[in-house]
Amino acid sequence: MTKKLYLETVGCQMNVLDSELVVGSLRRQGYELTQETTDADVILFNTCSVRQHAEDKIYSALGRLRHHKVKHSGTIIGVLGCMAQKDQEQIRRRAPHVDIICGTGQLAQLPALIQSVQRTGALQIALSLDRTQSRHEVERSFESYDPMRDPSMRPNRFQAYVRIMIGCDKFCTYCIVPSVRGPEQSRHPEQIAAEVQQLACEGCKEITLLGQTVNSYHYDLGAGRTARLSDLLARIHDTPGIERIKFITNYPKDMTDDLLEALRDLPRVCPYLHVPAQSGCNEVLKRMKRMYTAEFYRDMLARCRERVPGVAISSDFIVGFSGEKDVSFERTCDLVREARFKNSFIFKYSPRPGTKGHELYADDVPEEVKKRRNNDLLAIQNAASLQDHRRFIGTRVEILVEGPSKNAWKQESTGPVQLTGRTRTDHIAVFDGNPRLAGQTMQIDIEDATSFTLYGRVVTSEQVGVEETDCCDESVRPNQRIELPLVG
């Protein structure tokens, strides 16, 4: 009999990918997804620990399930991912109705853990070692979770994430990731290439390579040879069917020239870099242990733009980190004013027990100051994004259509609706068209822009996507010839 699975995901792209893989593997065990916790046999939360807010959300959701579990004692509730790895004691105390606690490095055990709960009714825990143990042992306890892909588990079949490494060794003082995702370990390039090939055969056109510090990727091939990210990009570049390759997230210190040259020379690698700066103040960067200065970051930006003409760059910032004074924050504002980022993600500092930052420094910036700095920096970034977006007005860009925009439901159900897609530089564009254009690469004329969005019109006189490919699944030819336009 079909069993029902409810899965809620919080956090980064790595969690989204983990969830896709978990659902794929449980579907092979006969589970079907449900949108409701009330009719689920298994309820899973794939969790994030990067900020307190993400943890609070999960504890609230678990709290709401307490009564449900009393009435339906057979329902299995599991906490997966970063919070599970970090806080098993706290989860047991605050949510004793949880049946499974499974860390990021143990997801392959999940089907067996569910069976054990069904058999014994007892709490099942699968966690990796903490980072005080020997590196080799800890590495072995964090398994890269890369089971078979299931295209029906992605929001669409033409875009996919591919994990190229796990973990992080940078230990920025504010960040919990190195503890909950373990040591940095890169996957073998041939294993990655095989996965990309399989995804392409299933109709995938765009892949995004994932790593916490993706440009630190290096795999020791033996005999003194190492595969770097630039080598990996070259290796997968000509996979038939793949039109776009992106990679996130980059670490500023590891932005090497060979990588920038690969970005410049490999046409399917998109000219887009997400390179978080975190702060523009050297004292703050030092306390964050980011290992670079604001001057280094500026030089790196200049080098990216010189080597890769037209590259779009985005960033992350933390405001209100311990010891951040008004004058330190001003340095960050200066950087954002100058840097011409496409966009920035701005976060208020959230102290994380278990990090050096929490241990060494007081959380001494009041909440209202963090809020104000967040808003001020956002306003500066929004003005820069508007300027960046407006230069597209009057130009023609290539879009990969992702599907109806979030406003599409407001429109009439027949005829064209508002569609959304992204340029090769990761700019979001909306335009009217038929929903069946999702997955197609098209030319769009940009007519207007806001800080967040380009507004365009489909180019009517062209045919795009005519390149023939040699794909193994005839039913899902990735580059089909399409007839345009379908717009009103």
- Sorted by sequence, the CB contacts under 8 Å of residue 62 that are 6+ apart come out as 45, 77, 79, 91, 94, 95, 97, 98
Interface residue with ligand SAM, options 175, 204, 242, 301 (CB under 6 A): 175
The residue type of 412 is E
Q: Are 402 and 159 in contact (CB under 8 A)?
A: yes
Q: How far apart are CA 145 and CA 106, in angstroms?
A: 8
Among 40, 44, 50, 313, interactor with ligand SAM by CB under 6 A:
50
Q: With respect to ligand SF4, which residue has the nearer C-beta, 255 or 454?
A: 255
Cβ 212 to ligand SAM shortest distance, Å: 4
Judge whether 159 and 168 are in contact, CB under 8 Å. no
Give how far Cα 433 sits from Cα of 17, 156, 337, 485, Å.
29, 18, 36, 8
Q: How far is the CB of 5 from ligand SAM (least distance, A)?
A: 26
- The interface partner of residue 159, options being ligand SF4, ligand SAM, none and the CB cut-off 5 to 8 Å by kind, is none
Residue 145 or 174 with smaller CB distance to ligand SAM: 174
**Binding status of residue 276 toward ligand SAM by CB under 6 A:** yes
Least distance from C-beta 469 to ligand SF4, angstroms? 36
Residue 425 is classified by DSSP as T
Kindly state whether residue 78 participates in binding ligand SAM, applying the rule CB under 6 A: no
177 vs 400 by CB, closer to ligand SF4: 177
**Residue 168 found at the interface with ligand SF4 (CB under 6 A):** yes
174 near ligand SAM (CB under 6 A): yes
Nearest to 423 by CA among 310, 330, 325: 310
Nearer to ligand SAM, 43 or 175 (CB): 175
Q: Which of 5, 7, 10, 12 lies at the binding interface for ligand SAM (CB under 6 A)?
A: 12
Q: Rounded to an integer, what distance in angstroms lies between the CA atom of residue 462 and that of residue 443?
A: 8
Q: How many angstroms separate the CA atoms of 315 and 209, rounded?
A: 17
What is the closest distance, in whole angstroms, from the C-beta atom of residue 320 to ligand SF4 in the complex?
Answer: 16
Q: Which does 350 bind (CB under 5 to 8 A by kind): ligand SF4, ligand SAM, none?
A: ligand SAM
Per-residue binding string, ligand SAM, 307-336, x by CB under 6 A, is ---------x-x------------------
3-class state of residue 430 by DSSP: strand
Burial of 454 (0-12, 13-18, 19+ CB in 10 A): buried
Interface with ligand SF4 by CB under 6 A: which range of 51-59, 166-174, 263-271, 459-467? 166-174
State which H helix or E strand residue 88 sits in: helix 88-94
Beta carbon of residue 464, minimum distance to ligand SF4 (angstroms, whole number): 37
Considering the rule CB under 6 A, would residue 165 count as an interface residue with ligand SAM?
Answer: no
Residue 212, interface with ligand SAM (CB under 6 A)?
Answer: yes
**Interface with ligand SF4 (CB under 6 A), residue from 178, 183, 203, 485:** 178
DSSP helix/strand/coil, 474: helix
Of the candidate residues 15, 179, 213, 440, the single one contacting ligand SAM (CB under 6 A): 213
Peptide bond into 404 cis (omega under 30): no
Instruction: Provide the CA 157 distance to its chain's centre, in angstroms.
Output: 17
Instruction: Please identify, using beta-carbon distances, which residue of 107 and 214 lies nearer to ligand SF4.
Output: 214
Q: In this complex, which beta carbon is closest to ligand SF4, that of residue 292 or of residue 404?
A: 292
170 binding ligand SF4? (CB under 6 A): yes
Nearest 5°: CA angle at 26, between 23 and 27?
80
Cβ atoms of residues 2 and 31 within 8 Å: yes
| 204 near ligand SAM (CB under 6 A) | no
Q: Rule CB under 6 A: choose which of 9, 15, 104, 212 binds ligand SF4.
A: 212
Question: Is residue 434 involved in binding ligand SF4 (CB under 6 A)?
Answer: no
Helical H segments across 168-217, by residue range = 177-181, 189-201
DSSP 363: -
Q: Binding of ligand SF4 at residue 175 (CB under 6 A)?
A: yes
| Amino acid letter, residue 484 | L
Neighbours of 88 (CB within 10 A): 18
* Total residues interacting with ligand SF4, rule: CB under 6 A: 10
Q: Are 40 and 77 in contact (CB under 8 A)?
A: no
Q: How many CB atoms lie within 10 A of CB 179?
A: 19
- Cβ nearer to ligand SF4, comparing 217 with 251: 251
Q: Which residue reads 């020997």 in tokens?
A: 134
Q: Which stretch binds ligand SAM (CB under 6 A): 32-40, 86-94, 345-353, 385-393?
A: 345-353
Radius of gyration over every alpha carbon of the chain, rounded to an integer in angstroms? 23
Cα dihedral value 351, 354, 357, 362, nearest 10: 60
CA-closest candidate to residue 144, choices 14, 31, 274: 14
Which of ligand SAM, ligand SF4, none does 171 bind, CB closer than 5 to 8 A by kind? ligand SF4
Partner from ligand SAM, ligand SF4, none binding residue 12, C-beta < 5-8 Å depending on class: ligand SAM
Q: Which is nearer to ligand SAM, 223 or 362 (CB)?
A: 362
- Helices 367-390 and 326-339: crossing angle in degrees, nearest 10, is 10
Query: Which residue, 175 or 275, is less far from ligand SF4 as judged by CB?
Result: 175
Q: Residue numbers of the site for ligand SAM (CB under 6 A)?
A: 12, 50-51, 174-175, 177, 212-213, 249, 251, 276, 278, 316, 318, 347, 349-350, 352
Q: Residue numbers of the site for ligand SF4 (CB under 6 A)?
A: 168, 170-172, 175, 177-178, 212-213, 251
